[in-house]
A = this chain, B = another copy of it.
Amino acid sequence: MKIKFEPIGVIHSPFKKKEDIESKKYADPKGFDSVHGELEIFKEYEDGLKDIEGFSHLVVLFAFHKSEGYKLHTKPLLEDTLRGVFSTRSPNRPNPIGMTVVNVIERKGNHLKVSGIDMIEGTPILDIKPYTSRDQKSPIKLGWLENRMKKT
């Protein structure tokens, strides 16, 4: 069964290529909080943005369009141990879909200025949704990432 989607917009980012993101700075999970960018929603979908200014955060689903295949065991960025791909946020996964929660700064028509960008310029947007209290989980256990948090 093939499931087909079409982009509803495109991400504008200070990161122009994959290598711009794969830096030690961004191993710190909060490193992206200050990265600003824009979600451009195509004009034909602009009406769907009604009421969106009221939300402080949005869930952005997007295609890892520069992903080239995957392995079920993968080494996360800056790590030496192989992990199951579903235990990582690697862009190289069976279905290369990304999920990032961004902070809405301002809406201008079909453009949303946001912070928290960790995607590259030109990334196709598949969906945006309001981030709600159901998405706030606490406390959480972070598995192999716990060690990483201690290191940074």
Contacts and interface: CB of A to CB of B under 8 A. Distances in A.
Nearest to A139: B56
Contact of A84 (B52, B138, B145, B149): B52
Output the residue of A56, A86, A143 with the most chain B CB within 10 A: A86
Given A6-B95, A49-B84, A52-B84, A142 B132 contact: yes
Q: Categorize the interface residue count of chain A.
A: 35 or more
Given A95-B126, A137-B131, A48 B72 contact: yes
B93 A127 contact: yes
A105 interface: no
A95 B127 contact: yes
Interface of A: 1-8, 29-30, 32, 41, 45, 47-57, 59, 61, 63, 72-73, 82-89, 93-95, 97, 99-101, 103, 124, 126-146, 149
